[in-house]
Amino acid sequence: MSMDSIVSLCKRRGFLFQSSEIYGGLQGFWDYGPLGVELKRNVKEAWWSDMVTAHDDMSTLAGAPSPYAMEGLDCTIIMHPQVWKCSGHYDLFHDFMVDCRETKKRYRHDQLNGRWVEAKGNKIFVTAPASDEEQGHMTKRALKFFNLRNKHIDDLKWEGESTCLTEMTSFEEVLGPDAKTLGTLTEPREFNLMFKTYVGALSGEEGAAYLRPETAQGIFVNFKNVLDSTRHRLPLGIAQIGKSFRNEITPRNFTFRSREFEQMEIEFFCHPDQSKDWYMYWRDRRLKWYHEMGIDSGNLIMREHSPKELAHYSIGTADIEYAFPFMAEGEYGELEGVSHRGDFDLRSHMEGKLDEKSNPLTLQLGDDGKPKWKGSGKDLNYRDDLTNDKYTPHVIEPSAGADRATLAFLCEAYTVDQQPDDKGKMQERIVMKLHPRLAPIKAAILPLVKKDGMPELSKEIYLDLKKHFNVFYDEKGAVGRRYRRSDEAGTPYCITVDGQTLEDKTVTIRERDTTEQSRIKIDECEQVIRDRINNG
């Protein structure tokens, strides 16, 4: 199954369109069409319901150390600029890049290493991407530059140790990692991955603000507000769904990497001693959720980050990844990251930006020896009024992409099978096998033929069911064609009014995946559909 056919169906049936398509589109931005908006709403509502409103806060759930409370939140997209300085995004998302004028390649300024080397009376600073093999690369580059053969390797006079390019003030004697001539690297230039805007009428730097690159920070800065207004004890999870923005350098792969996207995030606050157990709980709970929503376990993996990838303060991070059709065989794309964040975020918003490379965490200092970014100074610690224990909660963060999940559900649902036509000959059928909870339209109401009062009765049933579900009425063309149309939209049930309906007030209900039909009373339709959706 190819991504092209999925993209084509999305366009054809109105799941996804390119943003601003009539003007040629805009890279990294996508619109949801009539079916897409329902699908994505259902994804978000399923998540919100399962994680927040329908959460059982009285019982100890399987794998959980104790019962826990869940609350929701909806924060602004533009927040105080200091939020992003203390969160680390301001520094992190301000990568400095250098371009090579000769090869047109671009490198992260801080990820190039180099070393002085002399030969034939010339001294140059030869660079290579920082890695274990960088000395090998540098040697090759130097030999080539000085036009020396391998056997003359000893003519190279190395000076000093390998150092980062950021240590260099001038690039005149620098040989770029892929360049043939010296001094082709440009000055380091800022690459802002956060969208910048201006608050207020003046567009001076005092009014500079950023569109949030993640929803999580809104939860951290409101942690105390939520605690104070709800009287919950820890452990407590706070959930938020909302748009985030990242100025990706290379948006690619349909909606997978978009510049405007929607996140579904939980910040789960707990006692430090229990944080590992809660981390394990959330990993498993979130993986299970995707299974429950119909993603085949074979296409889904949990990838634990290696200790090398982890921030020092973190016990663990696990990505839930899906085998998207656009990925290479055996490769997966991230749907959700579940990370143990320790007390990094709350402390950073209290004390000032902490140095994530430090262990134990210490305040990050600027060149002047003062805190690099000042925190709020507000007390975000938690005091357990039963034990009088006061501590900074640790945080587990299950952070999911709503658009990525929606895309994964679309990919997973896309199925081509064989079904007989009216002459019994097998024909190819495209069917979107979406979980009934996620399906944009729950049922199609179809008169078998457009006469004998069938349309009238069908419309009555349609209007009645419409009060409860998103249903669709279709009387155009042969019924087989209408079944196929609803299959392609992922509609799980078709209610058909036929000759018998007029006699005994029964209709047929057809299952999308099997095309099997059974006969039920008109009065039972609502309950039958409801039961099947919930047990789907």
Partner RNA sequence: GCGGGUGUAGCUCAAUGGUAGAGCUCCAGCCUUCCAAGCUGAUUGUGAGGGUUCGAUUCCCUUCACCCGCUCCA
Site string for RNA, 309-328 (x = CB under 7 A): -----------------x-x
Q: Does 101 bind RNA (CB under 7 A)?
A: no
**Binding segment for RNA among 55-63, 77-85, 119-127, 248-256 (CB under 7 A)?**
248-256
**Binding segment for RNA among 48-56, 279-287, 427-435, 436-444 (CB under 7 A)?**
427-435
| Residue in this structure with the two tokens 């040697």, named with its chain if needed | 139
- Could you give the CA distance from residue 217 to residue 94 in angstroms, rounded to a whole number? 18
At closest approach, how far in Å is the CB of 36 from RNA? 14
For residues 232 and 259, which CB has a smaller minimum distance to RNA in the complex? 259
Q: Does 421 bind RNA (CB under 7 A)?
A: yes
For residues 68 and 107, which CB has a smaller minimum distance to RNA in the complex? 107
For residues 102 and 155, which CB has a smaller minimum distance to RNA in the complex? 102
Q: Does 430 bind RNA (CB under 7 A)?
A: yes
**Binding segment for RNA among 66-74, 340-348, 357-365, 426-434 (CB under 7 A)?**
426-434
Residues forming beta bridges with residue 246, ordered by sequence position? none
| Residue in this structure with the two tokens 């949990």, named with its chain if needed | 302
Strands, sheet with 106-108, edge to edge from the N-terminal-most edge strand: 106-108, 94-99, 189-192
For residues 80 and 429, which CB has a smaller minimum distance to RNA in the complex? 429
For residues 115 and 484, which CB has a smaller minimum distance to RNA in the complex? 484
Q: Does 478 bind RNA (CB under 7 A)?
A: yes
Asked if the bond preceding 371 is cis, omega within 30° of 0, the reply is no
**Binding segment for RNA among 57-65, 264-272, 450-458, 462-470 (CB under 7 A)?**
450-458
At closest approach, how far in Å is the CB of 465 from RNA? 17
For residues 336 and 487, which CB has a smaller minimum distance to RNA in the complex? 487
For residues 146 and 486, which CB has a smaller minimum distance to RNA in the complex? 486
| Residue in this structure with the two tokens 């579900």, named with its chain if needed | 469
Determine how many CB atoms are found less than 10 A away from the CB of residue 527: 12
For residues 236 and 318, which CB has a smaller minimum distance to RNA in the complex? 318
**CA quadruple 186, 187, 188, 192: dihedral sign:** negative
- CA count, 13 A, side-chain hemisphere, 345: 24
**Binding segment for RNA among 137-145, 359-367, 390-398, 509-517 (CB under 7 A)?**
509-517
Residues forming beta bridges with residue 8, ordered by sequence position? none
| Residue in this structure with the two tokens 């105080």, named with its chain if needed | 80
Q: Does 308 bind RNA (CB under 7 A)?
A: no
For residues 69 and 97, which CB has a smaller minimum distance to RNA in the complex? 97
- Could you give the CA distance from residue 286 to residue 456 in angstroms, rounded to a whole number? 46
Query: 475: which DSSP letter?
Result: -
Q: Does 129 bind RNA (CB under 7 A)?
A: yes
**Binding segment for RNA among 113-121, 345-353, 428-436, 458-466 (CB under 7 A)?**
428-436
- Could you give the CA distance from residue 45 to residue 338 in angstroms, rounded to a whole number? 20
Contact between 520 and 506 (Cβ < 8 Å): yes
Q: Does 157 bind RNA (CB under 7 A)?
A: no
Nearest to 220 by CA among 346, 128, 384, 97: 346
For residues 65 and 401, which CB has a smaller minimum distance to RNA in the complex? 401
Name the H helices within 293-420: 344-351, 402-413
Q: Which two tokens stand for residue 222?
A: 């409101």
At closest approach, how far in Å is the CB of 179 from RNA? 13
Residue of 33, 466, 515, 522 that binds RNA (CB under 7 A): 515
Q: Does 427 bind RNA (CB under 7 A)?
A: yes
Determine how many CB atoms are found less than 10 A away from the CB of residue 308: 5
Contact between 47 and 264 (Cβ < 8 Å): yes
Cα R_g (the chain), whole angstroms: 29
In three state form, how does the secondary structure of 328-340 look? CCCCCEEEEEEEE
**Binding segment for RNA among 222-230, 363-371, 434-442, 482-490 (CB under 7 A)?**
482-490
Residue of 215, 240, 392, 508 that binds RNA (CB under 7 A): 508
- Could you give the CA distance from residue 378 to residue 504 in angstroms, rounded to a whole number? 70
Q: Does 481 bind RNA (CB under 7 A)?
A: yes
| Residue in this structure with the two tokens 């078709």, named with its chain if needed | 494
Between vectors from CA 225 to CA 220 and to CA 227, what angle results, nearest 5°?
A: 90
Residue of 378, 420, 521, 530 that binds RNA (CB under 7 A): 420
For residues 230 and 518, which CB has a smaller minimum distance to RNA in the complex? 518
Torsion, Cα of 274, 280, 282, 287 (10° steps):
180
At closest approach, how far in Å is the CB of 380 from RNA? 21
Question: Hey, what amino acid is at 498?
Answer: D
At closest approach, how far in Å is the CB of 78 from RNA? 17
Considering CB under 7 A, how many residues would be counted as binding RNA?
67
| Residue in this structure with the two tokens 């009428």, named with its chain if needed | 201
The contact set with RNA (CB under 7 A) reads 3-4, 8, 11-12, 18, 24-28, 92, 99, 103-108, 111, 129, 213-214, 244, 246, 248-254, 257, 326, 328, 419-422, 427-430, 448-452, 476-481, 483-485, 487-488, 496, 498-499, 508, 510, 515-517
